[in-house]
Amino acid sequence: MTTTAAVGGKRKRVSSGLYVSQKVYVKSRNGNATKIVREHYLRSDIPCCSRICENCNDFYKPGPNGQIPNPILSESPLDLKSLNIGKHYILVDTNIVLNAIDILENDKVLYDVIIPQTVLNEVRNQSYPIYLRLRTLTKNEDKRFVVFYNEFNGETYIPRKHGEIINDYNDRLIRETAKYYNNHLSEYNIKTILLTSDKANKELAQRENILSFTLNEYIDLLPNSIELKDMLPSTENFDKSINEIKYSEYYSSARLMGGIKNGSLYQGNITISSYNFLEGNVNVNNLPKPLLILGRENLNRAFNGDQVVVELLPKNKWKKPSSQIIDEETINKNELGDNDEDEVLISDKERRLLTQEAIKEQGKDNDDENKIMPTGRVVGIIKRSWRLYVGQLSPNSINKDTDLISNAPRNVFVILMDKSLPKIRIRTRRANDLIGKRIVVAIDSWNSNSKFPSGHFVRTLGEIEDKDAEQEALLLEHDVEYRPFSKNVLSCLPKEGHDWKVPENLDNGDIQLKKRRDLRDRLICSIDPPGCVDIDDALHARKLPNGNYEVGVHIADVTHFVKAGTPLDQEGASRGTSVYLVDKRIDMLPMLLGTDLCSLKPYVDRFAFSVLWEMDEDANIINVEYFKSIIKSREAFAYEEAQIRIDDEKKQDDLTKGMRILLKLSKKLKRQRLANGALNLASPEVKVHTDSETSDPNEVEIKKLLDTNSLVEEFMLCANISVARKIYDSFPQVAMLRRHGEPPATNFELLNDMLRLKKGLSISTESSKSLADSLDRCIDSNDPYFNTLIRIMATRCMLAAEYFASGNFSYAEFKHYGLAVDIYTHFTSPIRRYCDIVAHRQLAAAIDYEPLHEIHMDKSKMDLVVKNINKRHRNAQFAGRASIEYYVGQVMKNNQSDQEGYIIKVFSNGIVVLVPKYGVESLIKLEVLGDVNSSSFDESNYSLTFVDKSGNKRTVSVFDKVNVSIESVLDDFTGKRKVQLYLK
Amino acid sequence: MSHQELLSPEGFRYDGRRCNEQRNFNLELNTHPHAADGSAICSMGNTKVLSLLRGPTDSNDSGLSLSVSIIQPPYAKSDRVQVSKNDRRFAELSLMVQRTLLQSIVQKAYPRTNINIKLTILSADGSILAACVNSATAALVDAGIALYDTVTAITVGIHDISPLIDCNAIEEIDLPYLTIGTISNSKINLLLMESKTPLDKLQKMINLGTEGCIQIRNQLDIAIRKSAIKH
Ligand SMILES: [Zn+2]
Q: What is the CATH number of the domain that holds A316?
A: 2.40.50.690
Residue numbers in A near B170 (CB within 8 A): 38
In a domain, A752, yes or no: no
> Same structural domain for residues A22 and A69?
no
Point out the residue among B15, B19, B78 whose CB comes nearest to the CB of A64. Answer: B19
Residue numbers in B near A34 (CB within 8 A): 78-79
User: Is A669:A539 a contact under the CB 8 Å cutoff?
Assistant: no
Residue numbers in A near B78 (CB within 8 A): 34, 36
Task: Say how far apart CA A79 and CA A87 lie, in whole Å.
Answer: 4
> Same structural domain for residues A532 and A550?
yes
The Å distance, Cα B16 to ligand 1 centre, comes to: 19
Buried-exposed string A115-146: b where 16+ CB fall within 10 A, e elsewhere = bbbbbbbbbbeebeebbebbbebbeeeebbbb
Query: A930: which DSSP letter?
Result: B
pLDDT tens digits, B62-106: 889 999 999 888 776 655 445 555 678 888 999 999 999 998 999
Interface of B with A in 184-213 (CB under 8 A): 197-201
User: Is A627:A517 a contact under the CB 8 Å cutoff?
Assistant: yes
Task: Say how far apart CA A727 and CA A735 lie, in whole Å.
Answer: 6
The Å distance, Cα A193 to ligand 1 centre, comes to: 17
In a domain, A867, yes or no: yes
Domain boundary among A427, A459, A477: A477
> Same structural domain for residues A78 and A214?
yes
Task: Say how far apart CA B49 and CA B135 lie, in whole Å.
Answer: 6
Cβ <8 Å between B19 and A135: no
Task: Say how far apart CA A823 and CA A811 lie, in whole Å.
Answer: 8
Cβ <8 Å between A38 and B125: yes
Closest-CA distance of chain A to residue B168, Å: 9
A465: containing domain? 388-477
- Across chain B, which distance is largest between two alpha carbons, in Å? 59
Residue numbers in B near A152 (CB within 8 A): 12, 16
> Same structural domain for residues A172 and A224?
yes
Residue numbers in B near A44 (CB within 8 A): none
> Same structural domain for residues A279 and A368?
yes
Task: Say how far apart CA A918 and CA B56 lie, in whole Å.
Answer: 95
In a domain, A791, yes or no: no
Cβ <8 Å between B125 and A39: yes
In a domain, A812, yes or no: no
What stretch of H or E contains A785? helix A785-795
User: Is A936:A930 a contact under the CB 8 Å cutoff?
Assistant: no
The Å distance, Cα A49 to ligand 1 centre, comes to: 6
B12-230 in CATH: which number? Answer: 3.30.230.70
In a domain, A446, yes or no: yes
User: Which residues of chain A carry a pLDDT beneath 70?
Assistant: 1-9, 27-33, 234-245, 320-371, 396-408, 681-705, 973-974
For residue A686, give the nearest of A926, A918, A351 by alpha carbon: A918
User: Which residues of chain B carry a pLDDT beneath 50?
Assistant: 1-2, 80-81
Q: Say what the pLDDT of residue B217 is.
A: 93
Q: Is the dihedral of CA A328, A329, A333, A336 positive or negative?
A: negative
Crossing angle of helices A467-477/A859-894, nearest 10°? 150
The residue of B24, B195, B203 whose CB has the most chain A CBs within 10 angstroms, and thus the best one to mutate to test that interface, is B24
Whether B142 has its CB under 8 Å from any CB of chain A: the answer is no
Buried-exposed string A308-335: b where 16+ CB fall within 10 A, e elsewhere = bbbbbbeeebbbebbebbbbbebeeeee
* DSSP states along A144-181: -EEEE-TTTBTTT--PPPTT--HHHHHHHHHHHHHHHH
Task: Say how far apart CA A200 and CA A181 lie, in whole Å.
Answer: 21
The Å distance, Cα A71 to ligand 1 centre, comes to: 9
In a domain, A625, yes or no: yes
The Å distance, Cα A930 to ligand 1 centre, comes to: 76
Cβ <8 Å between A854 and B198: yes
Domain boundary among A354, A383, A412: A383
For residue A653, give the nearest of A669, A673, A666, A635 by alpha carbon: A635
In a domain, A694, yes or no: yes
User: Is B107:B63 a contact under the CB 8 Å cutoff?
Assistant: yes
> Same structural domain for residues A635 and A548?
yes
Query: A326: which DSSP letter?
Result: B
Whether B45 has its CB under 8 Å from any CB of chain A: the answer is yes
Distances (CA, A) of A772 to A676, A678, A844: 10, 7, 36
Q: How many other β-carbons are positioned within 10 Å of the β-carbon of residue B144?
A: 10
Whether B33 has its CB under 8 Å from any CB of chain A: the answer is no
Residue numbers in A near B127 (CB within 8 A): none
For residue A820, give the nearest of A768, A744, A873, A886 by alpha carbon: A768
For residue A599, give the nearest of A567, A574, A645, A636 by alpha carbon: A636
The Å distance, Cα A155 to ligand 1 centre, comes to: 12
Cβ <8 Å between B200 and A851: yes
Point out the residue among A20, A22, A34 whose CB comes nearest to the CB of B79. Answer: A34
The residue of B7, B8, B10, B218 whose CB has the most chain A CBs within 10 angstroms, and thus the best one to mutate to test that interface, is B10
Q: Which residue of B has its CA nearest to A36?
A: B78
> Same structural domain for residues A29 and A62?
no
Q: Residues in chain A whose beta carbon is closer than 8 A to a beta carbon of chain B?
A: 12, 14, 18, 20, 22, 27, 29, 34, 36-43, 61-65, 69, 124-125, 128, 135, 138, 147, 149, 151-152, 565, 851, 854, 857
User: Is A445:A239 a contact under the CB 8 Å cutoff?
Assistant: yes
What is the arrangement of strands in the sheet containing B25-29, beginning at the earlier edge strand?
B25-29, B38-44, B47-58, B113-123, B64-71
> Same structural domain for residues A371 and A397?
no
Residue numbers in B near A38 (CB within 8 A): 15, 46, 125, 168, 170
Beta bridge partners of A19: A13, A42
Closest-CA distance of chain A to residue B172, Å: 14
Cβ <8 Å between B200 and A14: no
The Å distance, Cα B162 to ligand 1 centre, comes to: 27
For residue B122, give the nearest of B66, B52, B33 by alpha carbon: B52
Residue numbers in B near A40 (CB within 8 A): 15-16
Beta bridge partners of A803: A738
Task: Say how far apart CA A33 and CA A23 lie, in whole Å.
Answer: 16
Q: Say what the pLDDT of residue A7 is.
A: 45
Q: Say what the pLDDT of residue B231 is.
A: 65
Whether B82 has its CB under 8 Å from any CB of chain A: the answer is no
Residue numbers in A near B21 (CB within 8 A): 18, 41
HSE toward the beta carbon, residue A570, CA cutoff 13 A: 9
User: Is A175:A201 a contact under the CB 8 Å cutoff?
Assistant: yes
> Same structural domain for residues A23 and A163?
no
Distances (CA, A) of A429 to A82, A233, A411, A426: 25, 14, 9, 10
Task: Say how far apart CA B107 and CA B96 lie, in whole Å.
Answer: 18
Closest-CA distance of chain A to residue B9, Å: 7
Q: Say what the pLDDT of residue A322 is.
A: 60
User: Is B79:A27 a contact under the CB 8 Å cutoff?
Assistant: yes
How many degrees, rounded to 5, is the angle at CA B221 between CA B12 and CA B178? 45
Point out the residue among B45, B161, B198 whose CB comes nearest to the CB of A64. Answer: B161
Q: Say what the pLDDT of residue A261 is.
A: 84
How many degrees, rounded to 5, is the angle at CA A209 between CA A207 and CA A210? 105
Residue numbers in B near A22 (CB within 8 A): 46
Whether B1 has its CB under 8 Å from any CB of chain A: the answer is yes
Q: What are phi and psi of A654, to 5 degrees?
A: -65, -35
Q: How many other β-carbons are positioned within 10 Å of the β-carbon of residue A899?
A: 17
How many degrees, rounded to 5, is the angle at CA B97 between CA B95 and CA B101? 120
Query: A288: which DSSP letter?
Result: S
Distances (CA, A) of A971 to A394, A416, A417, A977: 11, 12, 11, 6
How many degrees, rounded to 5, is the angle at CA A13 between CA A10 and CA A18? 110
Cβ <8 Å between B16 and A12: no
- As to burial, measured by CB atoms within 10 angstroms (0-12 exposed, 13-18 middle, 19+ buried), residue A547 is exposed
User: Is A434:A457 a contact under the CB 8 Å cutoff?
Assistant: yes
Cβ <8 Å between B46 and A39: yes
Q: What are phi and psi of A460, to 5 degrees?
A: -100, 140
The residue of A3, A13, A15, A20 whose CB has the most chain B CBs within 10 angstroms, and thus the best one to mutate to test that interface, is A20
The Å distance, Cα A198 to ligand 1 centre, comes to: 28
Size of interface A-B (CB pairs under 8 A): 75
> Same structural domain for residues A134 and A276?
no
Q: Say what the pLDDT of residue B3 is.
A: 59
Which pTM value belongs to this model? 0.70
For residue A304, give the nearest of A247, A381, A391, A394 by alpha carbon: A381
The Å distance, Cα A184 to ligand 1 centre, comes to: 6
User: Is A429:A407 a contact under the CB 8 Å cutoff?
Assistant: yes
Closest-CA distance of chain B to residue A252, Å: 21
User: Is B205:B156 a contact under the CB 8 Å cutoff?
Assistant: yes
The residue of A10, A13, A38, A733 whose CB has the most chain B CBs within 10 angstroms, and thus the best one to mutate to test that interface, is A38
User: Is A458:A231 a contact under the CB 8 Å cutoff?
Assistant: yes
User: Is A754:A762 a contact under the CB 8 Å cutoff?
Assistant: no
Q: How many domains are there within chain A? A: 6
For residue A493, give the nearest of A598, A393, A405 by alpha carbon: A598
In a domain, A778, yes or no: no
What stretch of H or E contains A376? strand A376-383
- Omega of the bond leading into B56 within 30 degrees of 0 (cis): yes
> Same structural domain for residues A832 and A868?
yes
Pairing of strands A977-983, B25-29: unpaired
